[in-house]
Chains A and B, each alone.
Chain A
Amino acid sequence: MEPSLYTVKAILILDNDGNRLAGKYFDNQFTSIKEQLDFEKLLFSKTHKANSEIIMLDNLTIVYRSIIDLFFYVIGSTSDNEIMLSSVLNCLYDSVSQILRKNIEKKNLIDHLDAILLAIDEICDNGILLETDPSAISQRVSLKDEVPLGEQTVMDVVKSARDQLKWSILR
């Protein structure tokens, strides 16, 4: 096998029903959208119960992580270094976490979808790992128009507290 920098085959973020919220395939293994969705369905069915971080499926190595109602996946080939893939996953997760100010759940993610898409673009360019430092990513995504935590409105704080309480009960 020829050494290559093309290591990441896909990055996916699914919701808790297995629907795609954001995702990008860098490889032509799944050419049609139908194949992609079938694969995601299969992947979700295998991973949504057992949170065991890594799985092999369809000759692919997939590292994943879930929180509340979101599932993050990084997909590579079976010959890839699993630890490298898992560092990509950690970077994705931490970047999203910083962008969403630790309030990682579907609603909030959708509200910041633009920044999330930018972050994925900064992590991986067409299959080549671009950056794995989450703070560099969030700096590059640069949310200048963001309200810092101290200046959030009372409404926001109350809402976020309520959300977190709700999820802790649900879990």
Chain B
Amino acid sequence: MMGKKDSKKDDESGGSNPFRHLEKAAVLQETRTFNETPINAKKCCLILTKILYMINQGEHLAPTEATQAFFAMTKLFQSKDVMLRRMLYLCIKEMANIANDVIIVTSSLTKDMTGKEDIYRGPAIRALCRITDNTMLQSIERYMKQAIVDKSPSVSSAALVSSLHLMKQGPEVVKRWVNEVSEAVNSDNVMVQYHALGLLYQIKKNDKLAITKLVSKFSKSSLRSPFAYCFLIRVAARQLEEEKDGFDKTLFDFVESCLRHKSEMVIYEAASAIVSLRCTTSKELVSAIGVLQLLCNSPKPSLRYAAVKTLNKISISHPAAVTACNIDLENLITDQNRSIATLAITTLLKTGNESGVDRLMKQIATFMSEISDEFKIVVVEAIQSLCSKFPRKHNVMMTFLASMLREDGGFEYKKAIVNTIIVIIEENPEAREIGLSHLCEFIEDCEFLPLATRILHLLGREGPRTTTPAKYIRYIYNRVILESAEVRAAAVSALAKFGASSDDLLPSILVLLNRSKLDEDDEVRDRATFFYDILSQNDKALSSAYILNTLNVSPVSLERALLQYNQHVTEKPFDIKVVPTIEVEIHKPSGETLLPSSTKPTEKPTASRQDLYMEQLSAIPEFAHLGPLFKSSSPVELTEPETEYNVKCIKHTFTNYIVFQFDCLNTLNDQLLEDVVVKLDTADGYEIISYKQCAKLPYNTLGIAYTLVKIPDDPSQVVATFGCNMKFKVKDCDPNTGEPDNEEGYEDEYGLENVEINVSDHVQKVLKPNFGASWEEVGDANELEDTYALSMPSLEEAIKNIIQFMGLQPCERSERAPEGKNSHVLLLAGIYRGGHDVLVRAKLAFNDGGVAMQLTIRSSDSIVPQVIAQAVG
């Protein structure tokens, strides 16, 4: 054996590594031994091992060095030594991407691949396919086809797997081998079956029907390989997931039947497929959960891990079903494997009740330091969902999160904690002060700039509203002294917000800002100077507009508007009001995906939905003169589901016009529609300007027709209802080709539901972070006040309806009615068509059976308050 000589010497040092200190040059020098005759197989084998070890350790070989060594290696094909030949294949594969002209060994490998020695054939095929390219593939095609159906499993597997690799470069040639591959699926060898099935799927994957057939065929002819079963389950699950309406019962039955397979691997695959399918009903879920429950008690850690991971994943979507496993999960809390314990605890946290929280948190605190960052994030996210479930527990959670913040951790982990604290602060006013003080402490020693700036922004927004805003200023000003420019700029902005909100603090803030006016960074200096000047005016309206409630436009739209403005020579100043405001993001309560997924989300600014519409509409010449798009409504269905034609309407509001966009879908495969147009009945002062028809509407292709109407000149007239009728020319056609049978069609029409224009179509939601300041800024010049009695069963219901009718954005989280109280103040803000600010304050009081509302509307325009009031009246 090769190392035996050294072994005695090295014995004392406890098995040192003879490859440890290899010199690249020396090893490459040794390749000269390959030229000696007769070939010393053992010696050469050792040299090849050294080369492999070197590449393995990450040693970089230059192409010329590699090529030289590679050419020397080709001599070794003369030797008959089995080990040497096999090592040679390995080296060829390793060097395939480093050395040049590797194709010179093609003929030697082809000879081995077609030879008699089975032990050479498989590896030779794999090595050959690694160095081959599409053009050369043709020449070995015949051998590959034979190899796929070879009776030796190693040869057949090698050919199938290599074909799978080859599919990446050129699927066309491999697709011609489909018959051989289908034959190989019937092999007795489990691995061959698995590989053949995988390749068959790759070949047919674009043909949905063929895949469905494939699954149902092999689900009946019981496969031998558990691996093949797992793969087939994945294929079936994907197929089920893609079918939108009405899933295939046979596919599902197949997956379900796999729950009773004898291999644990297959059982688990089937269970995890069932629980993550959308179409699973609670009855089917029970058997799958039962399987996972059994796996939870397995002696093997990987089985327990798999089971608890899957349970954790579905603990949000199906909490009730997971509760059945609570006892088993309790047992896993003290599992030796910390990953399993963490998953078990977080699952319990998500499904459990309030009383258990303290105990579980204490348990998890004991080993928090031992688990990896990923799992810490899982814990943090579980805490977040707990806090919204049990707001009263925020004290325990906050303390826990604060101690986690103090420990070491990566950016993602710290970000998750900070996010969670911010969410808690926003959801629970009681937790605000304590949360803010934890965050203040964190930024004192925070290495992650994005987090520091984010926290400073939050402090600027929330700090002034606390009982003692002054105490935060010290923390913020410390940043101005100590941090980099990015953080200093954020800190200056935060300081300005304190100054704008509080008269008491204003003099001190002015002193602090004055110091920053000499900052070495441009941005910091500019901000400080800007804020200093605004604040020293001591004008509430100014500070509201420029410090507390700043611009709300989407950057993409602003860029486009500025570009347009620059293209025309004009005397007029740029009007910021024409830029569409950014759509307020709907805050979704934390839900799905509590395990880190394998796909990393790429964060980049995307154009908003409205920007996309803007692009579409401005491409149509008829609509070019309409000006900037103000608002696009969400789609409204104008047809019943499951009818011949499917029509959705989207309303695009411009300053003086409204464009109706009708998305039409033809669901009849024997009809071709032409010249589709949606006729509107004129109503309530609206004037129809033009129709833009959809020239052709073939089966199952989305077509768009537009109708343009002018908004009445009378500004108080905004609400309207239009009758809709779709008119078109029908041509019968062949369902298969889509070609019309004859050129002559006939006219037809199809009644649609009415389209309504509401007040909410004329306003855009805008979030005012500081409502009070904006309220004063707009002033009471155009104020309208009135009292209403609404017949609503509860405060929540009333709030929901008011928001919906007015289409305004609730501010200061006033959309949430306090529990157990009978009165509430709802604050709404938005922009009316034409760029007028609208602010609404609705004081609500609930007394048996009805809600009394005192409504106050302020706006920068005199007509707007009346229009808004119409929404309620």
- Taking a contact as CB atoms under 8 Å apart, the answer to whether B372 and A142 are in contact is no
Tell me the complex Cα distance, A86–B226, Å. 14
- Taking a contact as CB atoms under 8 Å apart, the answer to whether B83 and A77 are in contact is no
- Taking a contact as CB atoms under 8 Å apart, the answer to whether B302 and A85 are in contact is yes
A161 on interface, CB distance cutoff 8 Å: no
Residues of A within 8 A of B855 (CB): none
Shortest distance between the CB of A129 and any CB in chain B (Å) = 7
A118 on interface, CB distance cutoff 8 Å: yes
Residues of A within 8 A of B303 (CB): 82-83
Tell me the complex Cα distance, A55–B335, Å. 13
Q: Which of A5, A22, A46, A87 contacts B265 (CB 8 A)?
A: A87
Chain B proximity mask over A1-29: 1 for CB below 8 Å, otherwise 0 = 11111000000000100011111100000
- Taking a contact as CB atoms under 8 Å apart, the answer to whether A86 and B195 are in contact is no
Which chain B residues (181-209) contact chain A, with CB distance < 8 Å?
191, 194-195, 198, 201, 205
- Taking a contact as CB atoms under 8 Å apart, the answer to whether A121 and B123 are in contact is yes
Shortest distance between the CB of B122 and any CB in chain A (Å) = 7
A33 on interface, CB distance cutoff 8 Å: yes
Q: Which of A23, A63, A79, A113 contacts B19 (CB 8 A)?
A: A113
Residues of B within 8 A of A53 (CB): 300-302, 305, 337
Residues of B within 8 A of A142 (CB): 82-83, 119
Residues of A within 8 A of B18 (CB): 110
- Taking a contact as CB atoms under 8 Å apart, the answer to whether B265 and A81 are in contact is yes
Shortest distance between the CB of A46 and any CB in chain B (Å) = 6
Residues of A within 8 A of B340 (CB): 52
Tell me the complex Cα distance, A79–B45, Å. 39
A67 on interface, CB distance cutoff 8 Å: no
- Taking a contact as CB atoms under 8 Å apart, the answer to whether A33 and B238 are in contact is no
Residues of B within 8 A of A21 (CB): 17
Tell me the complex Cα distance, A38–B14, Å. 26
- Taking a contact as CB atoms under 8 Å apart, the answer to whether B7 and A131 are in contact is no
Shortest distance between the CB of A112 and any CB in chain B (Å) = 8
Chain A proximity mask over B80-94: 1 for CB below 8 Å, otherwise 0 = 001100110010010
- Taking a contact as CB atoms under 8 Å apart, the answer to whether B119 and A2 are in contact is no
Residues of B within 8 A of A136 (CB): 153-154
- Taking a contact as CB atoms under 8 Å apart, the answer to whether B337 and A111 are in contact is no
Measured CB to CB, the nearest residue on chain A to B198 is: A5
Interface residues on A, range: 35 or more
Measured CB to CB, the nearest residue on chain B to A23 is: B56
Tell me the complex Cα distance, A24–B597, Å. 24
- Taking a contact as CB atoms under 8 Å apart, the answer to whether A125 and B17 are in contact is no
Known A3-B201, A46-B372; contact A117-B49, beta-carbon cutoff 8 A: yes
How many chain B residues touch the partner (CB < 8 A)? 78
Q: Which of A23, A50, A87, A159 contacts B337 (CB 8 A)?
A: A50
Residues of A within 8 A of B52 (CB): 117
Q: Which of A2, A78, A81 contacts B238 (CB 8 A)?
A: A2
Shortest distance between the CB of A52 and any CB in chain B (Å) = 4
Q: Which of A111, A121, A125, A131 contacts B4 (CB 8 A)?
A: A111
Tell me the complex Cα distance, A59–B18, Å. 35
- Taking a contact as CB atoms under 8 Å apart, the answer to whether A83 and B264 are in contact is yes
- Taking a contact as CB atoms under 8 Å apart, the answer to whether B58 and A36 are in contact is yes
- Taking a contact as CB atoms under 8 Å apart, the answer to whether B374 and A144 are in contact is no
- Taking a contact as CB atoms under 8 Å apart, the answer to whether A144 and B82 are in contact is yes
- Taking a contact as CB atoms under 8 Å apart, the answer to whether B302 and A86 are in contact is yes
Residues of B within 8 A of A36 (CB): 58
Tell me the complex Cα distance, A21–B87, Å. 17
Chain A proximity mask over B300-340: 1 for CB below 8 Å, otherwise 0 = 11110110010000000000000000000000000011111
- Taking a contact as CB atoms under 8 Å apart, the answer to whether A20 and B56 are in contact is yes
B57 on interface, CB distance cutoff 8 Å: yes
18 more contacts with CB within 8 A, not counting A121-B123, A136-B153, are: A15-B17, A19-B17, A52-B336, A52-B338, A81-B265, A82-B306, A83-B264, A84-B265, A107-B10, A111-B1, A111-B3, A111-B4, A114-B49, A125-B126, A128-B165, A131-B191, A136-B154, A145-B83
15 contacts between A and B (CB under 8 A): A2-B238, A20-B56, A20-B57, A21-B17, A52-B339, A54-B302, A56-B339, A56-B372, A57-B372, A69-B15, A82-B306, A107-B14, A129-B227, A140-B119, A144-B83
